[in-house]
Amino acid sequence: MKTTMPLGRALVLTVLASSAVMAGGCSLTAPRYTASLDNVQKLKDSGIAPTKVGTFHSDSGKGNATNISMRGSSLASPYNNSYPDYLAEALKQELSLAGKLAPDAQIEVAGALQKNDIDVPLGTASGDMSARFIVTRGGTVRYDQVKSIHDEWESSFVAAIAIPRAQQQYPIMVQKLLAALYADPAFIQALK
């Protein structure tokens, strides 16, 4: 005699199995950066001079790991497995789309990622990011400040939902960090 499992129970078992796989320590890659059109427009309208993007590095410290841990899974950068490279790539994309990126420019933006973390509990997930941005012109520092953002989004009890949602949120966090940078009149002035 053949027995069948009720559909509701089968669905619950499938979700639990998916959750176990997602929570089992898999490694994920953050989505490649996609420029924010608002950020690009802000740069276009700013009147800044051609700018190059220098080296970004990572300051060691709590909340600034090479791979972000999310419920036992790790999130790595798609750019040389480096989150500082992710930030540099984001700047390059937005400057390029604004028509302001120039590899031989006298003005350079460089810096250091200081905090880069995502927390994916039940309920509300959050991410924190901060970076020090340094603008130099001909070797003279014209701007040196830290910008920070805190972002929140709805999480889920089910890891198979919560972890991909957090993964997709990463480039949005970077967009928000760069928006905070571009909103600083001193930064824009340093690029003129």
In the predicted structure, residue 13 carries a pLDDT above the cut 50:
no
Residue 184's domain spans which residues? 7-190
User: Which pLDDT does position 84 carry in this prediction?
Assistant: 97
Average pLDDT, the chain: 88
pLDDT tens figures, 36-50: 999 999 999 999 999
- Do residues 155 and 162 make contact, with C-beta atoms less than 8 angstroms apart? yes
Q: Look at residue 156 in the predicted model and tell me its pLDDT.
A: 86
Give me the helices (H) in the chain, please: 7-22, 37-45, 83-97, 159-182, 185-190
Alpha carbons 107 and 129: distance in angstroms, whole number: 25
Can you give the CATH number for the domain in which 111 is found?
3.30.160.150
pTM: 0.84
Low-confidence winner among 88-92, 96-100, 163-167 (lowest mean pLDDT): 163-167
Q: Tell me, what's the pLDDT at 101?
A: 98
Q: Is the pLDDT of residue 185 over 70?
A: yes
Is 120 among the domain residues? yes
Please indicate, yes or no, if residue 176 is contained in any of the structural domains: yes
Query: How many folded domains does the chain comprise?
Result: 1
Give a yes or no: residue 2 inside a domain. Answer: no
Say what the pLDDT of residue 3 is.
Answer: 52
> Residue 1 domain-assigned?
no
